[in-house]
Amino acid sequence: MALTNLTNTYHRDTYPAISSTNPSLSQAGKTVLITGGGSGIGFEIVRSFAKAKASRIIIIGRRITVLEDAVVKLREEFQNTDFIAQQGDISDEVSTTSVWDHLNSNNIFVHVLVLNAAHLSPMGPDTLKMERKDLMEAFNINVWGNFSMTAKFVNQPLRPVGEKLNLVNVSTAGIQMNPAPTQNPYVTSKGTFTALLGRIADEHPVEDVQIISFHPGALYSESGAKYFDKDIIDWDEMALPADFAVWSASPEAAWLHGRFVWAHWDVDELKSDKEITKRLEQESGFLKVAVQGLTEISATSFLKKK
């Protein structure tokens, strides 16, 4: 696997700066909604937000038994956080609307949205041999479903005027692995939505809604086990992306609003690197999903006279 490293330190597990027990990352008093939170990385993200003292965590998924089992385990471990299991399919607009209507009718305002649910399949070496329905399902969930959740989150009727929101997008956009079967609609569709979030971040200042997208790393999960052998690589620890999600939803990450980063990168080194800071200030396309080889492109460049 070819990995791009922007910092000298490359993390495979959590560390003090992003630890969910770090007081500066506290989520006390907040309600957090996590899609796909019943298992795998989603479940670990739920645990990290609970460690960060979130008051209420709502986990959404299609399998209600998985969600209910997860809530039982979470309540045993964290007595000071209220956990709610809510069945929902983000690819279904009726289901998504029902979820948010239920929250609104129960006077539940969500402060933090973590977009973790994703559609991984199909995988294969020849995209043109894939069924249309399989291809569209990936885009239905990874693009439209995530967009629908984002729009309903930002436009909550219960949102107080001036209340800042935090959106965290877990995305493998841009990853390139061998063998070829991993080059599939999942990566393309996740990249599409991550690029769309970059556009939304341009339209909404960080004071309105803080948007951070990050690559979670190489994780051996229930879904990944269907495609990869456990011994194929050295997998990262789940605690790394789980705690990184909490860090991304904190004021500590505000300077990366709208950008796409990797959980492996050391956040202190990122912030102290003057060259990175300079590029963030001068290049609106830096650390965003875009065409390789182009630093930035805008309508202004086409409108300039010779």
CATH topology of domain 23-273: Rossmann fold (3.40.50)
CA dist list (Å): 43 to 59, 106, 136, 228: 9, 24, 27, 20
User: Is position 10 annotated as part of the catalytic site?
Assistant: no
Candidates 39, 48, 91, 171; catalytic one:
171
Structure tokens at 248: 């991304």
User: What's the confidence (pLDDT) of residue 227?
Assistant: 62
* Per-residue pLDDT, 299: 57
Domain edges within the chain: 23-273
Taking the C-alpha atoms of residue 167 and residue 248, their distance in angstroms, rounded to an integer, is 8
| pTM listed for this prediction | 0.90
Residue 135: the pLDDT is: 84
Q: For the chain, list residues with pLDDT below 50.
A: 1-3, 176-182
Catalytic residue (one of 30, 53, 152, 190): 190
Catalytic residue among 39, 51, 152, 186: 186
265-302: per-residue pLDDT in tens?
999 999 999 999 999 999 988 999 877 666 655 555 55
Sole residue written with tokens 């070829």 = 180
Q: What's residue 181's pLDDT?
A: 46
